[in-house]
């Protein structure tokens, strides 16, 4: 399979009706559902009109169930409605009747091909119903208990795969066993692992029946037998020398996560009479153990993200100024609402002299501890240079050189920095890829916006930033805010957008009320008080 850019996510079909592999771009949420407004239309009566949403916040891909009627599953675990969950490469998304595999960036899985035996004159594919699976004898039950203990003791997917294959071989009499995962084409399958009865790798020379997998893909146990003598495994049934074969689906919730495939190739080799029953039980045990591992993995991801976020939030709160006050010639109000998945906003107010005060608001790309460290370093750098008399362009250019030489290429900072000069009645500002700010005087006048701006800090070490100067009147206020305001996702999958914020300011209110008005808008439209991304709003006026 071809690779995709590291910042793109591809949904690949595993099972279900026809579905073409679809790329999800990182710049906008993508809705999955039955309705015409969905970006990915899944036309089935069990799918809600707006069923689920995939979005990307900084470097983290998220999956949200949008309150669907029949639920959205991630690796067999039912998602809580309207609660974004981190998704990773290889995850399985279940929206009945589809199962889609997540591929992020390069694909390193090993693939192999099936043998097309649909029209074979010597082989017969049988469905094995639950009624045909007889009770195991006591000795078989003892073996099964030992196998169950080995399977449940596995601590990762590699150990689980080996335990399942060894157990299936020990109790069935087959000579080779493999775990497979089917993708969109029935001709191409992913070979997860393969073992022989000597517990050695058996990938080489292992061929797989397409017909057998086709039956198993419908959720039923299937076996390959000779057409002339029914269930007698002793006769050769495929040209590759296979004398018997069996395939059982491994279920993860309602989805097929993989297949347990076994065969025998030795002439005269007979497998156990209850091999089908035994392997079906092993497949069920595997599904339960696999679901438990996936559940543990989701819990681990959540704990790790929460730990990183808490560390970043603590660093953020330690260096924030008071929520409101007067500093030199200005009065300000600010509210910083740390996000659930991103914490990287920085804000500060720095007195320079009796007539001048500096204010800056920035947003670090990334999340967790890494973003928190960059946030703290950037804030300290800006504070030190500004207090020592640095001019805005010099200060930001110096910070830019520091970040480009000390951080990863994907780590950068959007920044707005302004110096308010009461003697001159001006604000001297620099906009480095930020863009979200406006000046207004209340009343019915439309707020003034300025599209002046340069690239974010930390991308190009050679850029020299420039400043602009604007008149700032005695009755005017400057509102600056982070992208968490305009990019907040609403229940219908859309975003708040800039125009809604512009429309708010028709009337004279003070700084504190102005900040509160913006957050009221976000809470009212989104229906929640906690947000995915950091959200910072600050209002400044002359004191």
Going by the DSSP 8-state scheme, the letter that residue 454 receives in this structure is: B
- Where along the chain do the CATH 2.60.200.20 domains lie? 9-103
Q: Give the number of other CB atoms < 10 A from CB of residue 509.
A: 15
- Where along the chain do the CATH 3.60.40.10 domains lie? 320-542
Instruction: Name the E strands within 166-315.
Output: 176-182, 188-196, 208-209, 221-226, 244-252, 255-264
CATH class name, domain 134-294: alpha beta
Pairing between β-strand 40-41 and β-strand 30-33 as defined by DSSP bridges: parallel
Domain 320-542 grouped into CATH 3.30.1540.20: no
Instruction: Name the E strands within 422-534.
Output: 426-432, 437-440, 468-471, 477-481
Tell me the C-alpha distance between 217 and 515, whole Å: 56
| Model pLDDT, residue 230 | 40
| Model pLDDT, residue 397 | 93
Residue closest to 373 by CA, chosen among 337, 333, 319, 420: 319
Tell me the C-alpha distance between 89 and 59, whole Å: 13
- Where along the chain do the CATH 3.30.450.40 domains lie? 134-294
Mention every residue, 6+ apart, whose C-beta is less than 8 A from residue 82.
64, 65, 66, 67, 491, 528
| Model pLDDT, residue 237 | 42
- Reduced to 3 states (helix: H, G, I; strand: E, B; else coil), residue 6 is coil
Going by the DSSP 8-state scheme, the letter that residue 415 receives in this structure is: E
Helix then strand count (H, E) for the chain reads 9, 29
| Model pLDDT, residue 335 | 92
Tell me the C-alpha distance between 132 and 127, whole Å: 10
| Model pLDDT, residue 333 | 95
CB 126 within 8 A of CB 225: yes
Q: Is the full-model pTM beyond 0.75? A: no
* Two structure tokens written together for 394: 């010099």
* Two structure tokens written together for 36: 């015409």
Tell me the C-alpha distance between 46 and 479, whole Å: 46
Per-residue tens of pLDDT for the chain, all 543 residues: 445 556 789 999 988 898 999 999 887 889 999 988 899 999 999 999 999 999 887 778 999 999 899 999 998 888 988 888 889 998 999 999 999 999 987 655 555 656 666 655 555 666 655 555 444 456 667 788 888 888 888 888 899 999 999 999 998 999 999 999 877 666 778 899 999 988 888 888 888 888 888 889 888 999 886 543 343 333 334 566 788 899 999 988 778 889 999 998 876 677 888 889 899 999 999 998 988 888 888 888 877 777 766 766 676 677 788 999 999 999 999 998 877 655 578 899 999 999 999 999 998 876 666 677 788 888 889 999 999 888 899 999 999 998 888 877 777 889 999 999 999 999 999 999 998 999 987 666 677 777 667 899 998 888 889 999 999 999 899 999 998 888 888 887 788 888 888 877 665 568 888 899 899 988 888 888 777 778 899 999 999
Kindly calculate the radius of gyration of the chain based on its CA atoms and give it in whole angstroms.
30
CB 518 within 8 A of CB 531: no
Tell me the C-alpha distance between 280 and 131, whole Å: 13
- Ramachandran angles phi, psi of 475, nearest 5°: -100, 5
- Reduced to 3 states (helix: H, G, I; strand: E, B; else coil), residue 267 is coil
Tell me the CB-side half-sphere exposure of residue 232, using CA atoms within 13 A. Answer: 11
Going by the DSSP 8-state scheme, the letter that residue 147 receives in this structure is: H
Q: How far apart are the first and last CA of the chain?
A: 63
Residue closest to 63 by CA, chosen among 79, 46, 47: 79
| Model pLDDT, residue 235 | 36
From the options 2.40.100.20, 3.30.1330.10, 2.60.200.20, 3.20.20.30, give the CATH code of 9-103. 2.60.200.20
pLDDT digits (tens, 9 = 90+) for 458-486: 988 888 899 999 999 998 999 999 988 88
**How many residues can be counted in the chain?**
543
């Amino acid at each position: 399979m071809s690779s995709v850019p590291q910042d793109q996510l591809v949904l690949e079909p595993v099972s279900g009706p026809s579905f073409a592999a679809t790329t999800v771009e990182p710049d906008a949420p993508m809705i999955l559902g039955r309705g015409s407004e969905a970006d990915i239309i899944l036309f089935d009566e069990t799918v809600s009109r707006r069923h689920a949403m995939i979005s990307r916040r900084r470097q983290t891909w998220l999956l949200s169930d949008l309150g669907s009627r029949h639920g959205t599953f991630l690796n067999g675990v039912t998602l809580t409605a309207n609660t974004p969950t981190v998704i990773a490469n290889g995850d399985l998304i279940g929206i009945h009747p589809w199962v889609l595999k997540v591929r992020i960036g390069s694909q390193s899985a090993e693939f192999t091909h099936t043998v097309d035996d649909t029209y074979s004159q010597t082989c017969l594919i049988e469905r094995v119903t639950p009624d045909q699976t007889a009770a195991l004898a006591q000795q078989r039950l003892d073996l099964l208990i030992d196998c169950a203990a080995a399977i449940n003791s596995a601590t990762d997917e590699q150990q689980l795969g080996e335990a399942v294959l060894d157990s299936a071989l020990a109790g069935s009499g087959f000579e080779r066993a493999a775990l497979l995962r089917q993708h969109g084409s029935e001709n191409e399958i992913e070979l997860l692992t393969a073992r022989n009865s000597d517990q050695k790798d058996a990938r080489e020379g292992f061929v797989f029946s397409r017909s057998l997998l086709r039956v198993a893909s419908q959720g039923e146990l299937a076996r390959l037998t000779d057409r002339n003598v029914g269930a007698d495994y002793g006769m050769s049934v495929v040209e590759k020398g296979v004398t018997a074969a069996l395939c059982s689906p491994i279920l993860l919730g309602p989805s097929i996560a993989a297949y347990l495939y076994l065969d025998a190739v030795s002439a005269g080799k007979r497998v156990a009479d209850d091999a089908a029953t035994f392997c079906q039980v092993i497949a069920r045990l595997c599904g339960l153990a696999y679901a438990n591992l996936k559940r543990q993995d989701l819990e681990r991801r959540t704990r790790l993200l929460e730990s990183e976020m808490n560390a970043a939030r603590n660093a953020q709160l330690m260096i924030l100024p008071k929520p409101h006050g007067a500093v030199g010639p200005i009065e300000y109000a600010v509210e910083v609402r740390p996000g659930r998945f991103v914490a990287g906003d920085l804000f500060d107010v720095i007195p320079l002299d009796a007539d001048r005060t500096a204010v800056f608001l920035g947003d670090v790309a990334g999340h967790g501890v890494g973003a928190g460290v960059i946030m703290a370093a950037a804030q300290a750098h800006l504070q030190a240079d500004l207090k020592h008399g640095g001019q805005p362009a010099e200060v930001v250019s110096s910070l830019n050189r520091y970040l480009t030489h000390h951080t990863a290429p994907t780590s950068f900072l959007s920044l707005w920095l302004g110096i308010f000069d009461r003697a001159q009645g001006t604000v001297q500002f620099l906009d480095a890829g930020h863009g979200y700010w406006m000046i207004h005087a209340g009343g019915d006048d439309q707020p003034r916006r300025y599209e002046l701006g340069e690239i974010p800090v930390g991308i190009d070490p050679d850029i020299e930033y420039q400043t602009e100067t604007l008149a700032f009147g005695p009755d005017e206020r400057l509102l600056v805010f982070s992208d968490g305001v305009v990019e907040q996702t609403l229940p219908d999958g859309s975003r708040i957008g800039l125009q809604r914020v512009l429309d708010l300011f028709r009337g004279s209110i003070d700084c504190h009320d102005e900040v509160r008005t913006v957050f009221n808008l976000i809470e009212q439209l989104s229906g929640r008080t906690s947000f995915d991304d950091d959200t910072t709003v600050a209002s400044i006026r002359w004191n």
